[in-house]
Structure 1
């Protein structure tokens, strides 16, 4: 199953592993003392291997079949190698050897030479299983170290987002396609700046370490430029110039950059990405299509025109959902896309974390439990004045020239999922390679 991450109020997977385990231990503190004592006693004890050895001894004692059942004693230490350390394997092997010698030599009357062969084989299996157990424990320690590094990289690249930022309630849900992955090619960030709250959601073409490196590059440039540049288009321009210097010719990043320079409106710059979904205070869901489609970041040189900054009315109770194509292009067994807008409309409420939790669970159920592409969801809700616990992040920001600013007054109503990555590229007027 995919690793889900929620940087909002319900973001369990982003918590470090030790914190999650501490929470589970705290939840079990109400258990009785005898139960805890038994649990601690049996934690490292090879229960199943001992039961197998005991079962073989019981069957042999009933049947009295000589050497027929005794070789099965080797199943005990062999199984212990997958569940216990070398010491546990040796203990199970010693127990099996002692019981086998007693049964074969005393009860069944097995000749000494044949019994010695069986016990020698049991000893060889025990030693081989102990070696396999030692190697397994070593690999587990290495994997634990790698996971701790992945947790640190996750916090460095995809930094946790508070539940409340300025006038907004925020929730994030992220799922990496790889079951053991912590980060992938999808990216998001939200930062309060002197020019208002700014955020980005994007998708890097490709997968693996290269995509992670590109995502880290984009987020690093965005966090710096968001503080320095009063103009949101200048922030996008800084990212574009950095990608031109560092990306391969056929690589690109689709992204939506959003700013909140003043109350009642948002600035939106869409660079070849899926259109955000605007959820009004009344619960209506509409796609915010760009009036002037722009190419993805890293491909501006192909068209030579800068992206357009659009003004989006955004009042109290309104919500804006940004996502990546791993959500809308997720298919079920019938090859049907997940209808994101319909799912959001079913679960819309005043708690962004509850909305994303319900949508994410529905998405996993749609695909059968595992996503085949990274998926990110970020939901932004404007709080009413009486809901805010602190002053909103507002500062007069410089707006781009009127020639590159458009006020979005109409949106396309959505009855199903939005267009996929290939169709977004076609709306931009480009024939692009797949982001997969």
Structure 2
């Protein structure tokens, strides 16, 4: 609007830019509220009248047409701003309800279980009302501590509903079944009764008992990260890739359990693909293994918080997918931390 005014004053009325003053309320309606749009429209009208009188445009029809253009665009901008704000409020309400439903499912995990210390981090994506279906749970069973971290295909309330099925089945099976393979079979049966079409759930199950090892069962999920006290870092890859939960109808073989050493001082980080698939400005994925040094903090919750902050900094803004992380730390014997 200022540019149009300067050009009109310096070049004269012959340039014919006066109707472009209406761009002010037009853009205000796209990004601001209706009050701001109306205020900008009022300023545009005053500017239009002032320039029209200065240039003598109201002696003909040019000044009146320019003023009517500003008034019409302002009215349309106010209506558009009101409708946009109403839609934003509705989306905020839907997202709030969905997040509450998801938080009810994701109960707080125990901070400790025997020699294990456990911490969880969950970062919700900012994408209108489309929350994801990331899930996690920790259950203390007769066989040891059993853990699940998973990711439901899709987003929204439908994904939360699928996550509820998985978590409900896991909480029962983790107590009742003798091994992880049987737990996985229970989850598969529960999902087959619930899911339709080609929807699926990737998940990794872990069991940590009395021995210096962890047993894992991976259903097409990103491999957990293992961090040793020496600083060595590696992914606990399964011997063979398996299909996600819910796709047993395709006739694929079930995953086989495998063991990884897990002794005092070791850390096991389970996560969803929202962590490793977060991209920076040049489209690079988040290098989780290179950031393992952030897990050195004696407090596991502070360690996960450092990783989460680094993840958001890597993405240079809000994440486009939900990101869940669950850290299991085997406490050193007779350490200050244990005391």
Tell me which interval the TM-score lies in, with the shorter structure as reference length: 0.7 to 0.9
Give the corresponding residue for 1:153. 101
Structure-2 separation of matches of 1:110 and 1:304: 78
After superposition, give the CA deviation of every residue in 1:281-328 in whole Å (9 maximum; x if it has no partner).
222234445569876544568779876655655332210122345666
* Counterpart selection for 2:154 from 161, 186, 207: 207
Structure-1 separation of matches of 2:250 and 2:168: 25
Distance verdict in 2 for CA 1:112–1:380, change over 3 Å: same
Q: CA contact under 8 A between 2:119 and 2:326: conserved in structure 1? A: yes
Residue 189 of structure 1 aligns to a residue in which SS?
strand
TM-score (norm 2): 0.73
Give the alignment of 1:351-366 within 5 angstroms: 351=298, 352=300, 353-354=302-303, 357-358=306-307, 361=310, 365=314
Q: How far does residue 364 in structure 1 lie from its aligned partner after superposition?
A: 8.0
Distance verdict in 2 for CA 1:67–1:160, change over 3 Å: farther
| Coordinate RMSD, CA, aligned | 4.3
After superposition, give the CA deviation of every residue in 1:120-165 in whole Å (9 maximum; x if it has no partner).
2222222222222221222222222122123223313444557x33
Structure-2 separation of matches of 1:258 and 1:203: 15
Task: Give 5+ residue unaligned stretches, structure 2.
Answer: none
Residue 134 of structure 1 aligns to a residue in which SS?
helix
Q: How far does residue 65 in structure 1 lie from its aligned partner after superposition?
A: 3.1
* Counterpart selection for 1:231 from 172, 175, 178: 178
Residue 168 of structure 1 aligns to a residue in which SS?
strand
* Counterpart selection for 2:225 from 254, 258, 277: 277
Structure-2 separation of matches of 1:339 and 1:103: 58
Give the corresponding residue for 1:172. 121
2:296 is equivalent to residue 349 of structure 1: yes
2:41 is equivalent to residue 76 of structure 1: no
Higher relative contact order (CA 8 A, sep 6+): 1
Structure-2 separation of matches of 1:202 and 1:175: 15
* Counterpart selection for 2:190 from 229, 234, 242: 242
Q: How far does residue 379 in structure 1 lie from its aligned partner after superposition?
A: 2.4
TM-score (norm 1): 0.60
Q: CA contact under 8 A between 1:347 and 1:359: conserved in structure 2? A: no
Between stretches 115-124 and 273-282, larger displacement belongs to 273-282
2:33 is equivalent to residue 85 of structure 1: yes
Residue 268 of structure 1 aligns to a residue in which SS?
strand
Number of aligned residues: 330
Q: CA contact under 8 A between 2:201 and 2:246: conserved in structure 1? A: yes
Give the corresponding residue for 1:387. 337
Task: Give 5+ residue unaligned stretches, structure 1.
Answer: 1-51, 390-436
2:323 is equivalent to residue 323 of structure 1: no
Q: CA contact under 8 A between 1:344 and 1:355: conserved in structure 2? A: no
Give the alignment of 1:57-136 within 5 angstroms: 57=5, 59-65=7-13, 68-105=16-53, 107-114=54-61, 115-136=63-84
Residue 57 of structure 2 aligns to a residue in which SS?
coil
Structure-2 separation of matches of 1:98 and 1:301: 70
